[in-house]
């Protein structure tokens, strides 16, 4: 499906009322969630079925399509750093509240000091790097890809390429998306160089 940031046209809208090394990191002094990160309904430039998720990494944006007059909810996201971001077509295979987290073997190999102690997993909760909600990305060929759209204990990293491949949102925002997305939801992660 051809899709890119040109398909989205910012419009005035009504605001809606993978993880780093685990730790309860301290927010930079004086940091608050920027107002422009508030999820907002925007007009998009092409028709898409209602209930799809589209991630545009070049603008650190996730769109949940509404199917009403070319509209979508835009959320600010963080994405995978370097070549850890994996574009492709997926579907929502599972959803979890306060999910457990287990680093992949590749994550442990890249940074054993940060991840080896969690090789058997970390229970869900406020200190868990997946945050309060997680959407699990599947493909028909592979099943669970170990890619997630999830919350974060480090909300100030949203808007950057910092994770181990997953897409992260502020916890309150992923909770809103979680409530809207249903199992089987199509999910499209576009290449970093998509215009």
Instruction: Note whether residue 162 is domain-resident.
Output: yes
Instruction: Note whether residue 195 is domain-resident.
Output: no
116 near 105, Cβ under 8 Å? no
Instruction: Note whether residue 45 is domain-resident.
Output: yes
pTM: 0.83
Which among 160, 185, 158, 179 is positioned nearest to 169, based on CA atoms? 158
pLDDT tens profile 64-110:
999 777 899 999 999 998 888 999 999 999 999 999 888 888 888 98
CATH number at residue 24: 2.40.440.10
Residue 26: pLDDT band with limits 50, 70, 90: low
Residues spanned by the domain of 157: 5-189
pLDDT tens profile 110-135:
888 888 888 888 888 888 889 999 99
pLDDT higher for 115 or 11?
A: 115
Instruction: Note whether residue 194 is domain-resident.
Output: no
Residue 17: pLDDT band with limits 50, 70, 90: very low
Q: How many domains does the chain have?
A: 1
- Section 42-56 average pLDDT: 92
């Amino acid at each position: 499906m051809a899709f890119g940031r040109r398909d989205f046209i910012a419009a005035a809208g009504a605001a809606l009322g993978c993880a780093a090394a685990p730790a309860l990191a301290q927010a930079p002094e004086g940091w608050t969630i920027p107002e422009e990160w508030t999820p907002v309904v925007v007009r998009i430039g092409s028709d898409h079925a209602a209930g799809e998720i589209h991630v545009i990494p070049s603008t650190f944006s996730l769109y949940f399509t509404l199917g009403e007059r070319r509209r979508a909810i835009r959320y600010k996201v963080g994405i995978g750093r370097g070549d850890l971001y994996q574009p492709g077509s997926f579907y929502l295979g599972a959803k979890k509240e306060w999910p457990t987290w287990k680093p992949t073997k590749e994550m442990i190999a890249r940074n054993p000091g940060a991840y080896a102690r969690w090789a058997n997993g970390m229970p869900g909760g406020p200190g868990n790097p997946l945050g309060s909600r997680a959407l699990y990305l599947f493909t028909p060929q592979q099943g669970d890809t170990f890619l997630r759209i999830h919350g974060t204990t480090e909300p100030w990293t949203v808007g950057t390429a910092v994770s181990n491949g997953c897409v992260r949102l502020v916890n309150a925002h992923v909770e809103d998306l979680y409530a809207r997305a249903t199992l089987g939801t199509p999910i499209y992660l576009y290449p970093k160089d998509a215009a």
